[in-house]
């Protein structure tokens, strides 16, 4: 156990060094990107705030790379000091020597899932909100609650809030809908209830409509009118509705199952969110696979040469696994494969491949 704790400590120290180096690199680059995005009129504090809010999201996406580099630093260091030779001479197999960093990577993955994921969700939402405020844009157009789907649109000086009990997959065909129109001062002008509402060519086409005027009428119910078909101008598009849900990473992992259930009840398939949820659950296995891949190429003495080739091979194979996982994620988001299959198959396959490589190295 002392040896396991020693190797795990070395791995954590290497991981911390890699993380600190990348933070020092990513933060100035992101600040320059934010400065280009919002311009120099907002001041240095706004640029720094946006960069800091975006930093956890960047670090979370690069976590497999950090683990891979930490593994390479660990085993190359052990090889150069001949500590790995001593460990092997003491009867430790390659798999047992890699057990400590693998378990540590799994713990990092679980900790990232429980702590970093909610942090990323909170900072990502705040980043989008702050950026929208600085650019003078509306921060959100769509919301899903237990009462159904809510949309907001602006036409001229008026704002319309739309509630629908059920919708189709892209939010352009609403059922059991209510339209609430407000003026620029926030005063409610009128309400319209419709059995159906279809968005097409920049307008809502409402069917079986009942309309209540709420301004200039002493008895809105008596002044209410009915219409078989009514057209209401709209600034919304199907793409805008879909994009306004935000990225799944803005929802904490603990709240994501409930959010997916709300999307399903509103009529959305929520394929992107379901795939993201399974991807997050399988992320500790991906980090363990990165450790095994790095160990398979670097658990050899440096006197054998070709260290640079081995390091490059490990990095390329690690990037290959991540690329395949991202490609599988796209297949899951489009519904061509199940979310569970695309999330868990690549890391498990990478673990089996790396374990076979380690066994081959062990047998000579």
User: Residues 326, 332, 333, 336: is their CA dihedral positive or negative?
Assistant: positive
Nearest C-alpha neighbor of 137 from the set 30, 252, 234, 244: 244
The reported pLDDT for the residue numbered 306 is 74
The reported pLDDT for the residue numbered 301 is 61
pLDDT in tens, 139-185: 456 666 666 778 887 766 778 888 888 777 667 888 889 999 888 77
The reported pLDDT for the residue numbered 146 is 63
Identify the segments of the chain with pLDDT beneath 50.
139
Is residue 199 helix, strand or coil? strand
Q: What are phi and psi of 81, to 5 degrees?
A: -90, 5
Is residue 255 helix, strand or coil? coil
Question: Which pTM value belongs to this model?
Answer: 0.77
Is residue 254 helix, strand or coil? coil
Are 231 and 146 within 8 A, CB to CB?
no
The reported pLDDT for the residue numbered 170 is 65
The reported pLDDT for the residue numbered 303 is 60
The reported pLDDT for the residue numbered 4 is 83
**Cα→Cα distances 272→280, 284, 339, Å:** 12, 20, 9
């Amino acid at each position: 156990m002392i040896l396991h704790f020693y190797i795990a400590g070395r791995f954590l120290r290497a991981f911390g060094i890699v993380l600190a180096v990348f933070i020092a690199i990513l933060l100035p680059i992101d600040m320059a990107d934010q400065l280009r995005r919002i311009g120099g009129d907002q001041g240095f504090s706004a640029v720094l705030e946006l960069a800091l809010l975006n930093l956890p999201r960047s670090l979370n996406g690069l976590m497999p790379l950090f683990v891979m580099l930490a593994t390479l630093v660990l085993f190359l260091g052990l090889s150069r000091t001949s500590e790995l030779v001593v460990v092997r001479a003491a009867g430790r197999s390659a798999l047992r020597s890699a057990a400590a960093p693998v378990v540590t990577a799994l713990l990092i993955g679980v900790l990232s899932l429980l702590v970093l994921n909610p942090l990323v969700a909170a900072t990502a939402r705040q980043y989008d909100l702050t950026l929208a405020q600085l650019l003078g844009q509306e921060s959100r157009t769509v919301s899903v609650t237990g009462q159904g789907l809510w949309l907001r649109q602006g036409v001229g000086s008026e704002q319309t809030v739309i509630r629908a009990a059920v919708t189709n997959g892209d939010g352009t065909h609403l059922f059991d809908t209510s339209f609430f129109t407000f003026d620029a001062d926030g005063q409610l002008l009128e309400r319209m209830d419709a059995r159906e509402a279809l968005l097409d060519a920049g307008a809502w086409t409402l069917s079986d409509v009942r309309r209540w005027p709420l301004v200039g009428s002493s008895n809105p119910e008596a002044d209410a009118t009915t219409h078989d078909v009514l057209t209401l101008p709209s600034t919304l598009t199907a793409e805008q509705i879909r994009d306004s849900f935000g990225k799944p990473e803005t929802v904490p992992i603990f709240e994501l199952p409930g959010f997916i259930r709300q999307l399903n009840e509103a009529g959305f398939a929520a394929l992107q969110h379901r795939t993201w949820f399974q991807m997050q659950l399988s992320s500790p296995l991906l980090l363990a696979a990165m450790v095994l891949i790095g160990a398979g190429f670097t658990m050899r003495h440096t006197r054998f040469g070709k260290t640079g080739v081995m390091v490059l091979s490990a990095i390329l194979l690690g990037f290959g696994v991540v690329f395949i996982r991202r490609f599988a994620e796209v297949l899951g988001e489009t519904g061509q494969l199940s979310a569970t299959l695309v999330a868990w198959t690549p890391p498990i396959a990478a673990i089996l491949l790396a374990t076979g490589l380690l066994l081959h190295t062990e047998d000579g």
